[in-house]
Amino acid sequence: MSSIRSYKGIHPQIGERVYIDSTSVIVGDIRIGDDSSIWPLVAARGDVNHIHIGARTNIQDGSVLHVTHKNAENPHGYPLLIGNDVTIGHKVMLHGCDIHDRVLVGMGAIVLDAVVVESDVMIGAGSLVPPGKRLESGYLYVGSPVKQARPLSEKERAFLLKSADNYVQNKNDYLTEVKDLHER
């Protein structure tokens, strides 16, 4: 069975040179930008709202991406918007939030509805970003609930783009070198 599935007649839109591991599930109204990668065991459901994943963005193993439905109190619901050059670490949960460009979300972090993460931000591993919070550009955020810890150094800011670039290279290797054994 394919890991890329339509839902109610809406098909995922996949950019150029995208790697999606065969163990991941991509469903419904999802747009994935060029040179992005979806690693093993990711679940992304664009069923009751849409998901946008920008270019050169990587969603690492075991992450869950979902949205909030539209209703009378919230007519637009909360889509999930992820910018360009973003690194989403292993086992991250993103739900109905807006993540701008050059962001790193550390392993096991949870980012909830109506959160806005501005560009050039690091969120520490295991952090919880509660609903409606805005994370200002240029800072490291850690904790549960998350708090602004300190400004990012120039080295850390450069790492945000380097991390995305590394995953583009890794993705390129997987596109050419990984073969499922049952496909021999």
State residue 181's pLDDT score: 62
State residue 41's pLDDT score: 98
State residue 2's pLDDT score: 59
- Per-residue pLDDT at 1 exceeds 80: no
Q: Is 147 left (phi over 0), alpha (psi -120 to 50) or beta?
A: beta
pLDDT single digits (tens) 18-47: 999 999 999 999 999 999 999 999 999 999
- Per-residue pLDDT at 163 exceeds 50: yes
Q: Is 8 left (phi over 0), alpha (psi -120 to 50) or beta?
A: left
In whole angstroms, give the CA distance from residue 85 to residue 36.
9
Q: Please report which helix (H) or strand (E) contains residue 58, including its range.
A: strand 58-59
- Over residues 158-165, the mean pLDDT reads 98
- Over residues 163-178, the mean pLDDT reads 96
The pTM of this model reads 0.95
In whole angstroms, give the CA distance from residue 86 to residue 76.
24
**How far does Cα 6 stand from its chain's mean position?**
20
On the 0-12 / 13-18 / 19+ scale of CB atoms within 10 A, 53 is buried
State residue 182's pLDDT score: 56
State residue 183's pLDDT score: 53
In a domain, 184, yes or no: no
On the 0-12 / 13-18 / 19+ scale of CB atoms within 10 A, 109 is buried
Residue 174: give its domain's CATH number.
Answer: 2.160.10.10
Domain total in the chain: 1
In a domain, 158, yes or no: yes
In a domain, 126, yes or no: yes
In a domain, 25, yes or no: yes
Name residues whose C-beta falls within 8 Å of residue 96's C-beta, 6 or more positions apart in sequence.
49, 66, 67, 68, 77, 78, 79, 80, 112, 113, 114
In whole angstroms, give the CA distance from residue 124 to residue 48.
29
- Over residues 162-170, the mean pLDDT reads 98
In this prediction, residue 14 has a pLDDT band, given cuts at 50, 70 and 90, of very high
In a domain, 118, yes or no: yes
Do residues 147 and 130 touch, judged by C-beta distance below 8 A?
A: no
- Over residues 128-142, the mean pLDDT reads 99
Range of the domain at 116: 4-179
Encoded tokens for 58? 């990587």
